[in-house]
Structure formats: structure tokens, C-alpha cells
Amino acid sequence: MQRYSRDINLYISIGQAYLLLRNYDESETYIREAININPKSSEAYCLLGNNYSDQKRDTEAIEFYKKAIELTSKNEELGLIYYNIGYSYISIYDN
């Protein structure tokens, strides 16, 4: 992967785009680079959780969502993260 800049938002956006295209490996590469740039990015950890959840790897997704909760300071993000965790638990127990 060519390094474009140290702008975390760029890597998160590219990671989101690949996630929408269901290209999970590329998505994860860019999201992990965002985490390398800012290891305290709750948004990046939540997105990585989404990546794993979309692949039905819900146990791993939950761990990333929990990390996002630890790091977030924004109450408005917490609702979405808790929703994502709940959805992952439902997926685990439905299978």
C-alpha cells in the first residue's frame, strides 16, 4: 500500500469505501493504517468491527467494538457502537 499522507480521515474513508464494496482485505488494510496513525481512534476501531461483522466474524467484531467504547469520548457514538455489539451478539446466538 502506498502511503498517501498521515491524514487518518483519508484512510478511514478509503477503508469505508472498500467495506461498501465488500473488499474486506483492502478495507482492513486501510483501517489498520488509520489505527497506526492514531491508535486512539474510536471511529477506526468501530469501522474495523463493522468489517469483521460483515464477514460474520462477530466474536472478533465485538472485541473491536469494545475497544471503540474504551476510546470514545462522544456520547453520540456510544449508541451506535452498543447497537453494533448487540447486533453481533444476536448473530452469534442465532447461529
In the numeric block, which cell numbers belong to residue 19? 467495506
Q: What confidence score (pLDDT) does residue 33 get?
A: 96
**How much is the pLDDT for 32?**
97
Which residues are CB-contacts of 1 (< 8 A; sequence separation ≥ 6)?
29, 30, 33
Q: What is the pLDDT of residue 4?
A: 62
Per-residue pLDDT of the chain (95 residues; tens, 9 = 90+): 555 678 999 999 999 999 999 999 999 999 999 999 999 999 999 999 999 999 999 999 999 999 999 998 777 788 889 888 999 999 888 86
Q: What is residue 61's predicted lDDT score, i.e. its pLDDT?
A: 96
Ramachandran assignment for 26, one of left (phi > 0), alpha (psi -120 to 50 degrees), beta (any other): alpha
The answer to whether residues 47 and 31 touch, using CB atoms and an 8 Å cutoff, is: yes
